[in-house]
Amino acid sequence: MARLTINGKAVNVDVDPNTPLLWVIREQVGLTGTKYGCGVAQCGACTVHMNGEALRSCAMPVSAAEGKKITTIEGLANKGLLTKVQKAWIEHDVPQCGYCQSGMIMAVSALLKEKPKPTDADIDAAITNICRCGTFQQVREAIHAAAKA
Amino acid sequence: MKIATPKITRRQFIINSAAVGGGLALGLRLPYGGPTVVRAADGSPEIGAWVVIRPDETVVVRIARSEMGQGSLTGLAQMVAEELECDWKRVTTEYPTPATNVARKRVWGDYGTGGSRGIRTSENYVRKGGAAARMMLVQAAADQWKVPVSECSAANGVVTHGPSKKKLSYGKLAEAAAKLDVPKDIPLKDPKDWKIIGKPLKRLDTADKVTGKQMYSADMKLPGMLSAAIKGAPVFGAKVVSFDQSKISAMKGVKKVMVVRNTAVAVVADTWWQAKTALDALPIVWEEGPNNKVSSESIAKMLDEGLSAEQAFVHNQNGDSKAALASAAKKIEAVYTYPYQNHACMEPMNATALYTADRCQVWTGTQNGEAALAATAEASGLPVDKCDVHKMLLGGGFGRKGMSDYVTQAVVIAKEMPGTPVKLLWSREEDMAQGRYHPVMHAKLTAGLDNAGNISGMHIRLSGQSILAAVRPEALDKGKDPFAFQGFWPTGEHSLEYTIPNLLIDHAMRNTHVPPGFWRGVNINQNAIFLECFIDELAQAAGQDPLAFRRKMMDKHPKSLAVLNAVAEKGGWGKPLAAGRHLGLAHFRSFGSYVAACAEISVKDGNKVKIHKIVAATDTGYAVNPAQIERQISGSFVYGLSAVFDQECTVKDGKIEQTNFHDYNSMRIAQMPKVESIVMPSGGFWGGVGEPTICVAAPAVLNAFARATGKRIRSFPLKNHGITLV
């Protein structure tokens, strides 16, 4: 039994403690906005926040998440009110297929918390998510727009 | 308009609706409305097959082609809305299922979404669908007012009677309009009157993608659903001999272990993680056959032999290239090679299937709904009218999801467990091992230059794999694969955009056991590198400027010349550059569109390439949504540059060696150049968008690299030469 706090709610799941957090979020908790892309912390599609920091959940056992505050893409908006990152994503028409964008938005949200006005170099260093559609140009524009909002 | 309705139980109907957010079970004859009205699942009437109008004025546009990020869904809706004269803010979309299309005699046309065809090959009937609905709505208003239809006009979802100024909204007219016959003679607007087509509108499908709400088929949930993981034969063509189920049968959640079509083993469990964990622990014995001796080296040897083989398929020929090359003042020859590459869609292959004795349903992301339906029928053993495929948004497709192998697998598995929905999801490792790979190709290019530095003759010999021979052999032209020659055709949508005398372009087909497949752009990726890099080599040998050298051969190719000139001018060709900066050019034609790029790079330590900027131009004829075209340009560059710098699938002992993104890398934001797009539609034709531009970034960068370093790279990816993109 693992006790988790996900998007502010306490959740108890009966699962092998080695199960990656990603799969507990998707299969036991039923929140599917967090995506599987590689399973080896390469692509970032599974990015969530753990105690406010970006984390690739596919390579982290659920046991390591006990007692930590986990936020997923579904928990980003507050009572339906989108964050400035989500709004910038809509305003700049960022997503193409959209599959990587949950992770991208979570990574960017963590970056902006740490560096509210990131430079291009800050973005290059912090945002290493893979997007096969190639939305990077719009991602960069939207990050700067969100920083100004 | 009577429609054949597939038999559907109430439970299945609820599952359909719940799974896709409601309203998608099309063509159900619900017990209200007039005798000729066809209704959507929520009871709203169809005004012709393409448009449903709800009482609240929402306009539902039917979309047959698949959305996988390329934006066709929005572009197609724009075309219907343009002719419908509705309020764009009230437009929403839905996919009619492939089985509904079959039952309704393919009223929505082709479902295939590949070859950059989504918009360009459906624009006419889609626009007519919108126009027909508008005509029916206007007619309905005229009938109600008892006035001539010629006195009525439609705009923004409202019909107005000119003389009396009476108005009726589409929502109020829909029921009456739906009872009218669909007109036969449907005039379309003159493009100069377009108000919605040609506008840089935002996509219709963004909101749910930023909140996690958007459902992909990998996110599918059904009551009682189990999950499956699968491992296909690592050596292509190998068979399953045995597996030791006792090693995993006690593992938590495991429900079933089975052979799938003799070529794969699947584990079904309560959750996917349990299924994958058990599958990883399952010993499997394969009968590998002779293919286990094939390697990248043995394939390269076979292709190199093809470069000088007697027999080859000729696709473009004029004059006498052999004689011209023999008598040339100067002869230049170069051999280029291009590797296998995987699609690596972010969402791995997956499908959910529910099989019962008399029905089989599939939920999946597919680029070819009707092929997925055919695969469902074949694998379930049920007739097509007992099957259906519920299309879901694709987490990337790039050609891979035009194949239905994963649909077949899901149905085969579900058939073993009647009444239980099973979601099959591939691991990334499975996706890397079981691709339908960008084919491997070598090329020998030989050209003669005369004393004035003009090309006097040229021979391009391709040697490598044919996609059609593997996936659509019936489409071969007396054994020849025309798609191997994309960008080299004498005429047509993939035409060569130079006038070259004494030309011969031929292909020695060399197929291997590695399954090839369509890929973004497919053969234009290597063909543009082969030709456009070689043209720069020839310009250098002739001591001429690469732009001027190209222009000499483009008098008869004004559209290509226009895009080339546009990028040269905006890219600063011939003007002073910042210290250490170098430019490279490329242009190509494919899928009907004319594209060009000018790359500006610098190179550090001889091998660290920074692409500062790429100016790109495309002439797509008509440009339905320039904002989305710009996104396709910069996005295609990410796909194309990832491929040329970092991506190669190598073969060892008959298997693909790469397993995940750590050894099959993809570009990150830090490596992204600034892309300045010039969308310059010249009108009069419909060219493709998603693919054509992919092929010009790589040769433009390679030409700039050669100018920067003096080194001409002819085999790919560049990582094999120690060259990295920074």
Instruction: Summarize pLDDT for B148-198 with one digit per residue, the tens.
Output: 999 999 999 999 999 999 999 999 999 999 999 999 999 999 999 999 999
Question: Same domain, yes or no, for A63 and A113?
Answer: no
Is it the case that residue A134 has pLDDT exceeding 90? yes
Closest CB from A73, A99, A134 relative to B639: A134
Q: How far apart are CA B153 and CA B162, in angstroms?
A: 7
Choose one of A28, A48, A75: the last residue of a domain: A75
Q: A101: domain CATH number?
A: 1.10.150.120
- Indicate yes or no: CB of B347 within 8 angstroms of CB of A97: yes
pLDDT at residue B633, rounded to an integer: 98
Question: Residue-wise over B469-482: b if at least 16 C-beta within 10 A, else e?
Answer: bbeeeeebeeebbb
Picking from B221, B273, B341 by the largest number of A CB atoms within 10 A of its own CB, the best residue to mutate is B273
> Closest-CA residue in chain A for B365?
A97
Same domain, A46 and A65: yes
**Given A75, A99, A114, which residue is the final one in a domain?**
A75
The percentage of residues in chain B with a pLDDT greater than 70, rounded to a whole number, is: 95
Query: What are the tens digits of pLDDT across the range A12-50?
Result: 999 999 999 999 999 999 999 999 999 999 999 999 999
Q: Do A6 and A65 belong together in one domain? A: yes
Looking at the structure, tell me whether residues A71 and A96 fall in a common domain. no
pLDDT of residue B375 exceeding 90, the answer is yes
Q: Which of B273, B398, B669 sits opposite A127 (nearest CB)?
A: B669
Do A55 and A30 lie in a common domain? yes
Regarding whether A119 and A89 lie in a shared domain, the answer is yes
Q: Domain containing A65 — which CATH number? A: 3.10.20.30
3-state secondary structure (DSSP) of residue B505: strand
3-state secondary structure B51-83: EEECCCCCEEEECCCCCCCCCHHHHHHHHHHHH
State ipTM.
Answer: 0.98
Do A93 and A36 sit in the same domain of this protein? no
Same domain for A63 and A107, yes or no, is no
pLDDT band at A79 (very low <50, low <70, confident <90, very high): confident
CA A142 to CA A135: how far, in whole Å?
A: 11
Query: Going by DSSP bridges, is the β-strand pair B651-652/B655-656 parallel, antiparallel, or unpaired?
Result: antiparallel
Q: How far apart are CA B581 and CA B572, in angstroms?
A: 11
Q: pLDDT tens for residues B276-329? A: 999 999 999 999 999 999 999 999 999 999 999 999 999 999 999 999 999 999
- Quick check: B639 and A132 CB within 8 A? yes
Which residues of chain B from 53 to 92 reach within 8 Å of chain A, CB to CB? Answer: 68-71
Q: Between chains, do B635 and A127 touch, taking CB under 8 Å as contact? A: no
Q: Which residues pair with B33 in a beta bridge?
A: none
Q: Count of domains in chain A?
A: 2
- Whether A40 and A62 map to the same domain: the answer is yes
Contact state of B634 with A100 under an 8 Å Cβ cutoff = no
pLDDT band at A112 (very low <50, low <70, confident <90, very high): very high
Position A117 scores a pLDDT of: 98
Q: Do A48 and A71 fall into the same domain?
A: yes
Q: What is the pLDDT of residue B115?
A: 95
**CA angle centred on B709, ends B705 and B714, rounded to 5°:** 55
To the nearest whole angstrom, how far is the Cα of B143 from the nearest Cα of chain A? 42
* Domain hosting residue A118, numbered range: 84-148
Q: Is the peptide bond before B717 cis (omega within 30 degrees of 0)?
A: yes
Q: How far is residue B419's CA from residue B397's CA, in Å, rounded to a whole number? A: 30
Domain annotation for chain B: domains and CATH numbers: 10-201 (3.30.365.10), 217-289+349-425 (3.30.365.10), 296-341+437-725 (3.30.365.10)
For residues A99 and A40, membership in a common domain is answered with no
Contact with chain A for residue B223, Cβ under 8 A:
no
Name the strand (E) or helix (H) holding B322. Answer: helix B321-326
Pick the last residue of a domain from A36, A51, A75: A75
Each residue's pLDDT tens digit, B677-686: 999 999 999 9
Same domain, yes or no: A38 and A103 = no
CA closest to B675 among chain A residues: A137
Per-residue pLDDT tens for B622-642?
Answer: 999 999 999 999 999 999 999
B661/A130 touch (CB, cutoff 8 Å), yes or no:
yes
Tell me the average pLDDT across B568-584. Answer: 98
- Kindly determine whether residue B211 and residue A39, on different chains, have CB atoms separated by under 8 Å: no
